Amino acid sequence: MQHMNNSGGLPKCLAPVIFALCLISCSSQRATYVPDGRRGFVVNCGGLLSTWSTCLVKAGRACGSQGYDTIKGSEEDRSILIACKVPGVAGAPLASH
Residue 76 sits in which domain range?
27-84
Residue-wise pLDDT for 16-71, tens only, equals 655 554 544 556 889 999 999 999 999 998 877 778 888 899 999 999 999 999 99
Residue with the bigger pLDDT between 97 and 76: it is 76
**Residue 85 clears pLDDT 90, i.e. is over it:** yes
Residue 6 lies in a domain: no
Does any domain span residue 14?
no
Give exposure, 49-75, as e/b (b: 16+ Cβ within 10 Å). ebeeeebbebbeebbeeeebbebebee
20 belongs to a structural domain: no
Kindly state whether residue 54 falls inside one of the protein's structural domains.
yes
Into how many domains does the chain fold?
1
Is residue 1's pLDDT more than 80?
A: no
More confident residue, 19 or 15: 15
The rounded distance, in Å, linking the Cα atoms of 48 and 39 is: 29
Is 95 domain-assigned?
Answer: no
Q: How far is CA 55 from the centre of its chain?
A: 7
Look at residue 38 and tell me if it is in a domain: yes
